Structure 1
């Protein structure tokens, strides 16, 4: 079993010893509360039971309320733009700052991805199971552990400082992040005054490894859409007309191949890259962390991490076409695919969409008709690392983990951060998390390293302790 004891650093936060003791003492309760949340199958996708997301929100609200420090704790919904109903329930709690102290907004989400096939899991996805140092279950890492990191850090602050501390707190635990945060922007507008803060901690990212913390300073944006390629008004016999008539599958394969250069990198004019240094990350580590099969070579050019953090990427995530089991000797009239594009930091998502659409229309083979719909976009994000909140966070992480944190980019996207920046332009945004490279978020056998959870809680407790002793600049 991995040794998860902390190394005592030289510099200490206000009340560090008491906070450390409180986190240690509260860890069994924290893990038990996390397990209770994991047992609630709060999948926010339309095909799943929305009542479970409501049950999850109510359970989170009870945990927040039981800290005893908030003036208001509510379960609230907001409208989805376009008049398509209300989003899933979120938890909103507020506590006003006192004596000139800052206010910190703590964000996480309580909804989870679908579990996929039960056969792919080594244990029931909604029955939390400890094996070694890891807790397995859907949402154990992404992001119910983020929820509990906030709760446990507040509990530790209360135990160390008492419930009358001066730091202002707001807690926003979203219920539909895994389904596109459809009502997020509306929720921000409707609750702007309650959510206003000097610093925002988004606990929904990862760490460098189980022994090294990370502060996420760059996130790629995203552009996803359905591409439909049509060449025929109706299906025809492949033997009778094959060789003269291009079918939609042939045209689609030819068209999709134009998206990539020979080395597998993106070959779409107008999609840009971001120039930033990256830590050393050997190909062997990439193989180990991704399960890249033996003999399969990585794609792209530049450092491995620049390909993941700073360059665009295009993935075909789904296809509507005749299945192998139902295949017949037919020329397909139309084929649809789902295209997911990750946009490099620094490029607006709409600009990337225009480039993609122009490329696909210009390269459609044989005069095939190309239709693009069901479009979703999210903006990339670059953190301003010059603020006092970043400095305090790095110090708190170094103290909790015993090593200096690493600034990382993330290949995935958290599009709602752009909404936070738009609504609260003066707030300093800190993207942290409880995951590690082996967490397998969104995949079967998702798991949380319990040592990472402990150190993440301690980092946030130290941060809250530091900010409780700090006046607003």
Structure 2
């Protein structure tokens, strides 16, 4: 490890934790119906932190219908030094049911080596990890720096498509996307694959209006029965996705055990996990279809009537290397060809598909990252994947196809992001700051060879 770097990071940790708590106190929820002022307050606080960390060339990218994207630049120290783009976001999820929180969501509380609060892990700890890595070099890192800190990632925004259309604004040799973390606390993890995402709506209309089930039930086509029969065709008897053409491959990286997954997912005692094959391919390198919404009469107020109309929303997660538009069409074609009880289904897109991502892992940035994560956590890092989707990553990859994209950060599998009692381990924040600072050094040295 570079002489003095670990000691400098350790000396920064109290201040980084204090700044993280200050940011977490700001309820920067960029969702409709929430006040805009806290988002603006968080923006200003982050800009001040960046200036203090040595980033002087700071601007705001202001697109319609989204919070400002903070941009910044530190020139490379030499003409041959590489440039690293740092991504994070300063907005957070709503807290949800606050009665489920053990501590107030926007009063960050330190308990047993962890800081609890909404957004503390997703994504303000990763934002502070970027700032901490810059502080470790006194604002003069051995690489050039390009800052891209988003303000409306959680709700989604037009910025998702912006980089691919404006590639020169994102020029770099490597990117560190700080919106991830370790598969287990203390195990340095590079996320190398993200599934794509597709949403569709399936509708059934059968009769003009609800009719008495005693007088008409049986021969009258029941829209809800038709819809349920169609949805049942999406999976085989083991629960595997049955839509032809959707890619699925064995996952070769690190993963959770079945018992770890049961704990993380909160699976009820005695229930099986669904599907066959390895857990990794069911979660990361294969498709997953979820019925996320169903419109039908409510049980408590249901009349004894044949249902005339029903619809469902489906969420499809797509193999990282499969085109999301192709996967969407395969799903639409499959459903449209079904005729449950002779009745057609109407299928339409719900929002734009989001592309997946599969990293190229053989270049100098990945070699430097392996060295850096090994130094920070004292053991060889692992490669993992994420079943969720980050469409911006695909846009960044399209903008700068030659740049290596590294996804790592201070979260871990038990941090409960998006749920109650979200927390970040201080040890994970410390490891991430050290790993990123070590990456700057190792990447600069490898590029100079």
The answer (yes or no) to whether the contact 1:77–1:187 under 8 Å persists in 2 is no
Change (3 A) 1:451 1:277: same
Indicate the larger mover: 382-391 or 42-51. 42-51
2:60 is matched with which residue: 72, 75, 78? 75
Q: What residue number does 1:217 align with?
A: 192
The answer (yes or no) to whether the contact 1:215–1:432 under 8 Å persists in 2 is yes
- 1:207 Cα deviation (Å)? 0.9
Q: Provide the rounded CA distance (Å) in 1 between the counterparts of 2:212 and 2:18.
A: 61
Q: Provide the rounded CA distance (Å) in 2 between the counterparts of 1:31 and 1:260.
A: 47
Q: What residue number does 1:206 align with?
A: 181
1:186 counterpart = 2:159? no
The answer (yes or no) to whether the contact 1:188–1:195 under 8 Å persists in 2 is no
Write the deviation string for residues 417-452 of structure 1: whole angstroms up to 9, x where unpaired: 111111111111111121111012222222212211
The answer (yes or no) to whether the contact 2:20–2:128 under 8 Å persists in 1 is yes
1:31 counterpart = 2:17? yes
Change (3 A) 1:300 1:30: same
1:132 counterpart = 2:133? no
Q: 1:97-176 to 2 correspondence within 5 Å?
A: 97-99=76-78, 100-158=80-138, 163-176=139-152
TM-score, normalised with respect to structure 1: 0.89
- 1:471 Cα deviation (Å)? 4.0
1:44 counterpart = 2:44? no
Q: Provide the rounded CA distance (Å) in 2 between the counterparts of 1:470 and 1:171.
A: 22
Change (3 A) 1:94 1:344: same
Q: Please list every run of 5 or more consecutive structure 2 residues that lacks an aligned counterpart in the other structure.
A: none
Q: What residue number does 2:310 align with?
A: 335
The answer (yes or no) to whether the contact 2:95–2:420 under 8 Å persists in 1 is yes
Q: 1:343-422 to 2 correspondence within 5 Å?
A: 343-366=318-341, 367-422=343-398
The answer (yes or no) to whether the contact 2:163–2:170 under 8 Å persists in 1 is no
The answer (yes or no) to whether the contact 1:157–1:465 under 8 Å persists in 2 is no
Q: Provide the rounded CA distance (Å) in 1 between the counterparts of 2:8 and 2:209.
A: 69
SS in 2 for 1:297: coil
Q: Provide the rounded CA distance (Å) in 2 between the counterparts of 1:104 and 1:70.
A: 13
Q: How big is the alpha-carbon RMSD for the aligned residues of Structure 1 and Structure 2? A: 2.0
Q: Provide the rounded CA distance (Å) in 1 between the counterparts of 2:415 and 2:40.
A: 26
The answer (yes or no) to whether the contact 1:316–1:339 under 8 Å persists in 2 is yes
Q: Provide the rounded CA distance (Å) in 2 between the counterparts of 1:259 and 1:307.
A: 15
1:319 counterpart = 2:305? no
Change (3 A) 1:164 1:175: closer
Q: Provide the rounded CA distance (Å) in 1 between the counterparts of 2:323 and 2:433.
A: 34
Q: Provide the rounded CA distance (Å) in 2 between the counterparts of 1:50 and 1:330.
A: 46
1:447 is matched with which residue: 423, 432, 437? 423
The answer (yes or no) to whether the contact 2:251–2:278 under 8 Å persists in 1 is no
Q: Provide the rounded CA distance (Å) in 2 between the counterparts of 1:188 and 1:374.
A: 22
Change (3 A) 1:72 1:21: same
Q: What residue number does 2:8 align with?
A: 22
The alignment of Structure 1 onto Structure 2 pairs a total of residues equal to 447
Change (3 A) 1:37 1:230: farther
Write the deviation string for residues 373-422 of structure 1: whole angstroms up to 9, x where unpaired: 32331112111111000000110000011011001122111121111111
Change (3 A) 1:29 1:232: farther
The answer (yes or no) to whether the contact 1:231–1:334 under 8 Å persists in 2 is yes
The answer (yes or no) to whether the contact 1:57–1:75 under 8 Å persists in 2 is no
